[in-house]
Amino acid sequence: MKRILLIACTLIASGQALKCYHCQSEVENGCKLEAKPQETNCGKPAKDYQIVCVYKAFYDGAHHRVSSGCETLLNTSPIDKSSIHNCEDDKGTFKVKECRVCNTELCNSADARKAALILLQICLPIAYLANKMF
């Protein structure tokens, strides 16, 4: 029964495109969940590519800027900031405050730690009940 449940969940998840938050702001906290960033369906990647969610916060010398959205990477690329354009400081142009890359549903919110905690609070009881049932 556990295997059937695992296979069903895997098939359902693999058939759906990744969703990421999409936001562009010149306000440092402008992409927090309270600001209601737009959820975007990233679509299916081309062959040999993968879709990831990105959250970037940087300072361009005059303004704080925040952006989040979908990015496409080669399957062989690591899922980290080394694979993302403009995730490193560019001397004289901008300073990166934060850059996160992830590949789970709506993982690129400005409140990522809060979302992870909520997910943990949901998953632990489900895992406990599933363990008791099977």
pLDDT in tens, 17-64: 899 999 999 887 778 877 788 999 999 999 999 999 999 999 888 888
Is 6 a residue whose pLDDT tops 60?
no
Q: Which fold has domain 19-112?
A: CD59 (2.10.60)
Residue 130: the pLDDT is 67
Encode the chain in three state secondary structure. Answer: CHHHHHHHHHHHHHCCCCEEEEEEECCCCCCCHHHCCEEEECCCCCCCEEEEEEEEEEECCCCEEEEEEEEEEECCCCCCHHHCCCCCCECCCEEEEEEEEECCCCCCCCCHHHHHHHHHHHHHHHHHHHHHHC
Residue 63: the pLDDT is 86
Phi, psi at 114, each rounded to 5°: -65, -45
How far is 75 from 89, CA to CA, in rounded Å? 25
Residue 7: the pLDDT is 43
Residue 69: the pLDDT is 95
Residue 123: the pLDDT is 55
Residue 9: the pLDDT is 46
Residue 3: the pLDDT is 52
Is 8 a residue whose pLDDT tops 50?
no
Residue 117: the pLDDT is 46
Domain boundaries, the chain: 19-112
Taking only the tens place, the pLDDT of each residue in 64-100 is 899 999 999 999 999 999 999 888 888 778 899 999 9
Residue 31: the pLDDT is 84
